[in-house]
């Protein structure tokens, strides 16, 4: 098992397909059909920005998963204090490699990056019906502190 930073948008776009497909299945009204070319072009642009970090999980030369992180800086406002966090936009492990420690290994690397950058808050969100993600993040020690709701008219 190897976790490393990557700048290869093609690998990330390919590994993004299964998590994107899950989002389509759970919420088809919100998600576009997966298009490798468009996703690849999107990630090519995002990877150029220093505040984004992409981690690649490998096993015996196979790319098995990834994490997409952002170092966020929140400014002070009249309502909130300033703080920094690492925001986990996505984490995904390909199906045959799930429940083998790859997700936890990716998260350990996220925690390491936070400590190196003197950041003590990791934030993320997941879709309500994604019970696999909910279970994984609870196992990792994450707690819910904010909920988002919607109403269709």
CATH of the domain at 45: 3.40.630.30
| Domain, as residue range, for 45 | 2-139
Residue 145 inside a domain? The answer is: no
Residue 77 inside a domain? The answer is: yes
Residue 151 inside a domain? The answer is: no
Mean pLDDT by 10 residues, the chain (153 residues): 96 97 95 97 97 97 97 97 97 94 97 97 93 94 88 86
Entry pTM: 0.93
> What is the total count of domains within the chain?
1
Residue 120 inside a domain? The answer is: yes
φ, ψ at 14 (rounded to 5°): -65, -45
How far apart are alpha carbons 76 and 24 in whole angstroms?
36
**Residues listed for the chain:** 153
Residue 152 inside a domain? The answer is: no
């Amino acid at each position: 098992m190897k976790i490393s930073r990557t700048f290869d948008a093609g690998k990330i776009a390919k590994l993004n397909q299964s998590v994107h497909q899950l989002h389509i299945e759970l919420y088809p009204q919100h998600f576009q059909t997966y298009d490798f070319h468009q996703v690849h072009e999107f990630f090519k642009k995002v990877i150029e920005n220093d505040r984004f970090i992409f981690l690649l999980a490998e096993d015996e030369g196979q790319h098995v998963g990834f994490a997409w992180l952002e170092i966020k800086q929140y400014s002070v406002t009249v309502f909130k204090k300033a703080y920094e966090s690492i925001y986990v936009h996505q984490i995904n492990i390909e199906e045959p490699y799930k429940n083998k420690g790859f997700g936890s290994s990716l998260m350990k690397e996220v925690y390491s990056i936070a400590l190196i950058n003197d950041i003590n808050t990791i934030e993320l969100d997941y879709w309500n019906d994604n019970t696999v993600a909910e279970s994984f993040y609870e196992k990792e020690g994450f707690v819910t502190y904010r909920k988002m709701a919607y109403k269709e008219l």
